[in-house]
Amino acid sequence: MRIFVAGAEGQVATCLKRVGGETVETFGRARMDLLDADAVQAAVDAYQPDVVINAAAYTAVDKAETDRDAAFALNATGAETLARATAAHGCPILHLSTDYVFDGSKPAPYSETDPTGPLGVYGQSKLAGEQAVAAANPRAFILRTAWVYSPYGANFLRTMLNLAASRPRIGVVADQLGNPTSALAIAEALLEMARSEKLADPAHAGVYHLTAQGEASWADFATEIFRQSAALGGPAAEVDRITTAEFPRPAPRPANSRLNCDKLAAVFGLRLPDWRLSMTSCLRDPIFR
């Protein structure tokens, strides 16, 4: 199997290469400009992939509020360009999206059929990308994930560990709920999907939710990070539970972005582990030792 991954340095792309080994080839900016349609088509045609995974994205949620054009260029236009290239080649695309396509007003976890309503530019650009990808390739599988962490790159887990190295107490928002999800678990699930015969059937195409089992607030997430880190002899701090209003950010966040993943389990037989178990594996990674 030949798996083409758009993106090379992000968390999921890095984990896909680590987990997938020689079956995965990553294409970062140095190899392929997603905003150059000819270059994208040439890269796909040259590699002759069985499956394409789009793990490239503009993910600076706050910066996107004042950088709208760049966010939409990569998350919507670039995603559509890649989807068109895969359609022309006749292969399916697995496209990563986000929980931030929802406004957070629902009191229960969101299903794939719930109305969207992103609060900020980042979520708006990702929703536009979902729609463009689905329109461009009849075998587009859109995977919404959330609160991604890993041993790599910039993410909440690494930020908390870095802060704990110099602070005894850290204020963390306690009134936003979501599903912390390991990029390594995401990568393993994507590779399982890539091997599935169901990708050949457009009847199975569409939107799926892909997050870890279990839910948490950011404060809950931080508390568990420090509990497990301390048990391993790593940095830890006390968590002060604060409100969103006490920690204003340029981009609004949904108060609830929990995702229901029953559809993925029903169609592909996939359920990610509980986020606490995946965190244990992450913190035991040699990078943190």
Taking only the tens place, the pLDDT of each residue in 238-267 is: 999 999 999 999 999 999 999 999 999 999
Q: Is the pLDDT of residue 273 over 70?
A: yes
Taking only the tens place, the pLDDT of each residue in 42-84 is: 999 999 999 999 999 999 999 999 999 999 999 999 999 999 9
Is 249 inside any structural domain? Answer: no
In a domain, 224, yes or no: no
Q: What is the pLDDT of residues 113-150, one digit of tens each?
A: 999 999 999 999 999 999 999 999 999 999 999 999 99
Asked if 97 and 126 touch (Cβ cutoff 8 Å), the reply is yes
Question: CA 187, CA 220: separation in Å to the nearest integer?
Answer: 24
Q: Which residues of 207-236 are buried (b: 16+ CB within 10 A; e: fewer)?
A: bbbbbbbbbbbbbbbbbbbbebbeeeebbb
For residue 283, is it within any domain?
Answer: no
Q: What mean pLDDT is predicted for residues 11-26?
A: 95
CATH of the domain at 78: 3.40.50.720
* Residue 108, domain extent: 3-155+180-213+257-273
Model confidence at 281, pLDDT cuts 50, 70, 90, reads very high
Mean pLDDT of 197-217: 96
How many angstroms separate the Cα of 47 from the Cα of each of 51, 82, 123, 199?
Answer: 11, 14, 31, 19
Say if CB 146 and CB 211 are below 8 A apart: yes
Is 81 within the bounds of a domain? yes
* Nearest C-alpha neighbor of 229 from the set 184, 179, 279, 183: 279
Residue 110, domain member (yes or no): yes
Percentage with pLDDT > 70 across the chain: 100
Q: Is 152 part of the annotated catalytic residue set?
A: no
Residue 289, pLDDT above cutoff 70 = no
CA 162 to chain centre: 22
Residue 228 backbone zone (phi > 0: left; psi -120 to 50: alpha; other: beta): alpha
191 in any annotated domain: yes
Q: Is the pLDDT of residue 6 over 70?
A: yes
pLDDT at residue 218, rounded to an integer: 98
Please compute the mean of the pLDDT values over residues 158-169 and round it to a whole number. 96
Is residue 115 in a domain? Answer: yes
Question: Of the listed 58, 100, 122, 149, which one is catalytic?
Answer: 122
Q: How many domains does the chain have?
A: 1
- Let me know: does 139 contact 95? Beta carbons within 8 Å: no
Given a cut of 90, is residue 288 above it in pLDDT?
Answer: no
Per-residue pLDDT at 287: 86
Q: Is residue 82 part of a domain?
A: yes
| Predicted confidence (pLDDT) at residue 182 exceeds the cutoff of 80 | yes
